[in-house]
Structure 1
Amino acid sequence: MEAIFALFVLLGLGASAGTFIIRNLYYICQPNEVLIFAGPTRKLAGDRQVGYRLVKGGSSLRVPLLERALQMDLSNMIIDLKVSNAYSKGGIPLMVEGVANIKVAGEELAIHNAIERLLGKSRDEIEQMAKETLEGNLRGVLASLTPEQVNEDKMAFAKSLLDEAEDDLVKLGLVLDTLKIQNISDNVHYLDSIGRKQQADLQRDARIAEASAKSQSAIQTAENQKITALSRIERDLGIARADAERRITDALTKRDAVVAEAEAEIAAELARIQAEVPVQQERIKQVEQQLQADVIAPAEANCKKAISQAQGAAASIIEDGKARAQGTLRLAESWKSAGSSARDIFLLQQLEPLLQILTESIPSVEVDNVTVVDSANGTGATRTAAFIEQLRQTTGIDLATAVKRFSEGSSPEIPEIIED
């Protein structure tokens, strides 16, 4: 417990010491001021020794017991200047009113003068010191200038005053930022008389200038009128020349236009005819191609087709004839080899298809006579005779007579069968 208590005591003492240091030893310098820590001697440039150190902007700690912190304000001070009965060059008393902006110097060298001369003084005392210094310098500058110079060029007068007062203010540690002369007057109305004289001179000069301007204007007007008349004449001549040239140009242009138009029409007609020739040639080719496609080609195709068909038919007929001739030769050879029964065999071979054709072509047959032959128990000749009789009775074909005629060399008469 005692250790904890001692720790708290030490922390309290440390916090108190920190607060004391911050409040009494730590200083922050504002931008518009300078801090002077008076204490031990310091050496500056040029072997100059001072008993203080400067802090401009930032912060610093004061050494306890050895240093004392002082503050100097660097903000601007406005001083109203008013000088009466200040004699100018020539003995004319003048009254000058103006305003000046000064401040305590913040740069090296000049700030040391301010510390040595102004440290500890109030702003009112510093302003009064600066005002008296400026008024003394103003009287000195006025004594070297005439009223005309002071009144005519206030800027030059203010510049002369700045140059005159700068050295004195630097010695005091002050800086003159601006100086404006507001009014310059006198009690003897000297400046008014100068103003009236200048006004009279201005009026005289104005009248002279006006008369000169009027004469110059009259001369210029006459010259302008002459130039205008000459310009008008030249303009009329130019218009007449331009009109004549225009008429000539129009005539030439019309002639050229007529010629060009005729040439263009002829060239167009020629071009049209020349362009028409290929068209007609193409049209002839097209007609020929169309005729070739529509008439000649189909005719040639039909001709080739007819020739092919004729050749095919002829080849078929030839081949058929050859086949029939071969068949006839073979039939004759078979007939000779068969001997006396060749006729019966031939008739029997041809009888079946003939009967089929006849039965298909004759839908109904009227029976006038019926002959019954026993073909079941008879011989081959008996069955043949029965069949021939049946054929004669049903179709009217006398097969025996037909075979007889065929053997004798005449063609048998076969009833004509018409197919629908």
Structure 2
Amino acid sequence: MILTGTLITAALILLGIVLVLVLIQNFLIVVPPNRVLVISGRSRRTEEGDTVGYRVIRGGRAFRIPVLEKVSWMDLTTIPLDLSIENAYSKGGIPLKIHAVANVKINAQEPQLSNAIERFLDVPRENVTNIVRDTLEGNLRGVVATLTPEEINEDRLRFAEALIEEAEHDMNNLGIKLDTLKIQNVSDVGGYLNAIGRRKAAEVLKEARIAEAERNAEATQAEAQALQRSQVAQAISQQAILEEQNKLEVRRTELNAIQLSRQNEAAVQSELAKVRATQNFEQEQAALEAALRQKRAEAQRQARMVEAQQNAEAAEVEAQARQRATIAQTTAQQAILERENQLRVRKAELEAIAAARENEAKVSAERARVVAEQQLEQERVILNQKRLEADVVAPARARREAELLAAQAAAAPIIEEGRAKAEAVRLMAEAFRQAGPEGERAYVLNMLPGIVEQFAAAVQGMQIDKLTVIDSGNGQATKSAVQTLPANIISMVEQVENATGVNLLSFLQNTGKPQGNGASAVQPSGPGSVKPDASFGG
């Protein structure tokens, strides 16, 4: 019994926990960041002091009281809108067709969120999209009425800003936030914007014509100046080349003279060194010979003295005297040999000095020749550079300037022709504008032969040899065949009206009637009739 009671108690506790979790799961609501939770059923006071019967939770979680409170959701994600209006009359009465795209969403800020809750709570998203689209299209028409077609087409940023400013009040009242608004396309059925574009293109072509004529004149003048500059530059270059050639010849002559002078000077120095060496050698040789003769004379004198002494002395001294004479003679011979050796050494030294002087002279002459050749080669390189400048660079520069001027001259007629066409179109449009309805009728009547020719060209190659009318027995076949021609003509006129928007029958009926201002109808075949085909053809 105790175990059974314990199990029952545990089961009841577990059941209670499960019930609590189920209740929490059902009554605890988690709000994602892209949605707004609206719990209605109990009154509360707002910060402004108003009493409302709901509370709003943006993100987080909240508990709802069962039975007493109801849960609703509002989606904060973007709503893309495709705005397209037709026959929106702009300033000046020109109907326009405008296509734009916008991105809107429920505004999550107060008081716009309260406005959105009051208007769109539990409303299908498609209905919200339609309401916002209709409101923005109405604002778009209102802004278009305050701007000209040129302002709308040229300054779309200003147009979009004006539209956002116009729609902001209505969007705040609805609780909607306008994230982006972009104008995709602006067009008109009557061709007003195309006419403006053609007029501006005509003005540009006119300016191009004028500029072409001016550029042609400038190109011709510049070409003549370039040719003149080229000829002058070529003449100056030729003169400079001749001057440099003359300078080169003069310099070559000077260098040859310097080289020859240095070679002669080196030869003179070499000969002078040889002569000096020979003189020194002869002088030293003469001095050595004189010293040798003096030594010989001194030796002979001493020998004679010794001999005289020997004769005077006794016989025992004779041997000693001979010995001393022999020694003296040997000493003299040795001195002579030493002097001869010194003479040969000095002669060799002098010959070496003379050879060195001669080599130095040759080296100086070779160095002078090499320096002269280097200077001559440098001047030859400078001359070749100047010849290349005159023969290749200067003519190439002149040809480039001439080709540039020729290209400008070739482009100028095309530009000026376009300007002339534009001016013709402008003059024709001005004439039609001044003529009023009469000019319009004249234009249509002048265009009518061309339209008929185009229709006739479609069946120009068709050849009918025989036309057979088959009667069904009532006798009306021929009558029906005859009545087909007027019906075909009327059908052709209706096709022209559908293609161009011009009612030819009305124009033909009004052509012969007098106008309210007393002017007669314009005749298409008269000498003053306007021929737009010729004008458009340039």
**TM-score, normalised on structure 2?**
0.43
3-state secondary structure, aligned to 1:148:
helix
**Structure-1 separation of matches of 2:121 and 2:99:** 30
In structure 2, the residue matched to 1:127 is 129
| Counterpart secondary structure, 1:184 | strand
Unmatched tracts of structure 2, length 5 or more: 264-358, 365-538
- Please state whether the residue corresponding to 1:34 is helix, strand or coil: strand
Structure 2 match to 1:211? 213
2:166 aligned residue: 164
Matched, 1:12 2:14: yes
Higher RCO (C-alpha 8 Å, min separation 6): 2
Deviation at 1:29, TM superposition (A): 2.4
Alpha-carbon offset, residue 24 of structure 1: 1.7
Matches of 1:264 and 1:22 in 2, distance apart?
Answer: 123
Report the Cα offset of residue 117 of structure 1.
2.3
TM-aligned CA deviation for residue 89 of structure 1: 0.8
SS across alignment from 1:95: strand
Structure 1 residues 122, 264: closer, same or farther in 2, change over 3 A? farther
* Separation (CA, whole Å) in 1 of partners of 2:67 and 2:172: 33
AA aligned to 1:150 is I
Match of 2:189, SS? coil
What do the CA deviations read for 1:254-275 (whole angstroms, capped 9, x no partner)? 89999999879769xxxxxxxx
Q: How does 1:103-118 map onto structure 2 within 5 Å?
A: 103-118=105-120
Deviation per CA, 1:347-391: give whole Å up to 9, x if none. Answer: xxxxxxxxxxxxxxxxxxxxxxxxxxxxxxxxxxxxxxxxxxxxx
Give the direction of change, closer, same or farther, for the CA distance of 1:121–1:190 in structure 2 (3 Å limit): same
Distance in 2 (alpha carbons) for counterparts of 1:16 and 1:263: 125
Give the match for residue 193 of structure 2: 191
Counterpart Cα distance in 2 of 1:203 and 1:117: 58
Structure 1 residue 138, shift from structure 2 partner = 0.9
What is the CA-CA distance between 1:145 and the residue it aligns to?
0.9
The within-5 A match list for 1:215-234 is 215-234=217-236
Distance across 2 between alignment mates of 1:15 and 1:259: 130
| CA distance in 1: counterparts of 2:46 and 2:245, whole angstroms | 97
**Structure 2 residue 98 is the aligned partner of structure 1 residue 96:** yes
1:35 matches 2:37 = yes
Q: In structure 1, which of residues 4, 26, 47 is the aligned counterpart of residue 28 of structure 2?
A: 26
Shift of 1:233: 4.5
- 2:65 counterpart of 1:73: no
Structure 1 residues 153 and 2, CA gap change in structure 2 (3 angstroms): same
CA–CA distance in structure 1, aligned partners of residues 52 and 243 of structure 2: 100
Alignment-derived partner of residue 180 in structure 1: 182
Matched, 1:149 2:151: yes
Whichever residue aligns with residue 83 of structure 1, its letter is I
State the distance in 1 between where 2:247 and 2:118 align: 99
Give, in whole Å, the separation in 1 of the partners of 2:202 and 2:251: 69
Equivalent-residue separation in structure 2 for 1:66 and 1:162 (angstroms):
42
Using a 3 Å threshold, how does the CA distance of structure 1 residues 60 and 188 change in structure 2: closer, same or farther? same
In the aligned structure 1, how far is the partner of 2:53 from the partner of 2:38?
10
For residue 90 of structure 1, report the CA deviation from its aligned partner. 1.0
- One-letter code aligned to 2:161: K
Equivalent AA in structure 1 for residue 164 of structure 2: L
Bigger radius of gyration among the two: 1
C-alpha distance in 2 between matches for 1:200 and 1:18: 83
Work out which of the residue numbers 59, 62, 70 in structure 1 matches 2:61.
Answer: 59
Cα deviation for residue 246 of structure 1 reads 6.1
Residue aligning to 1:270 = none
Where structure 1 has 5 or more consecutive residues not aligned to the other structure, the ranges are 268-420
Q: Deviations over 1:263-289 (max 9, x none)?
A: 79769xxxxxxxxxxxxxxxxxxxxxx
One-letter amino acid of the counterpart of residue 212, structure 2? E
| Paired letter, 2:102 | A
Q: TM-score, normalised by structure 1?
A: 0.53
Listed one character per residue, the Cα deviations across residues 116-144 of structure 1 (whole Å, up to 9, x for unaligned) are: 32222111111111111111111111111
Aligned residues: 269
Question: Residue 354 of structure 2 corresponds to which residue in structure 1?
Answer: none
Residue type matched to 1:114 in 2? Answer: A
Q: State the AA in 2 paired with 1:69.
A: V
Superposition deviation, residue 207 in structure 1 = 2.8
**Distance change in 2, residues 1:85/1:6 (3 Å):** same
Counterpart-to-counterpart distance in 2, 1:68 and 1:86: 45
User: Displacement, 1:220?
Assistant: 3.8
CA separation of 1:8/1:152 partners in 2, compared to 1, >3 Å: closer, same or farther? same
**CA 1:29–1:248 in 2, change beyond 3 Å: closer, same or farther?**
farther
1:226 is displaced (CA, Å) by 4.2
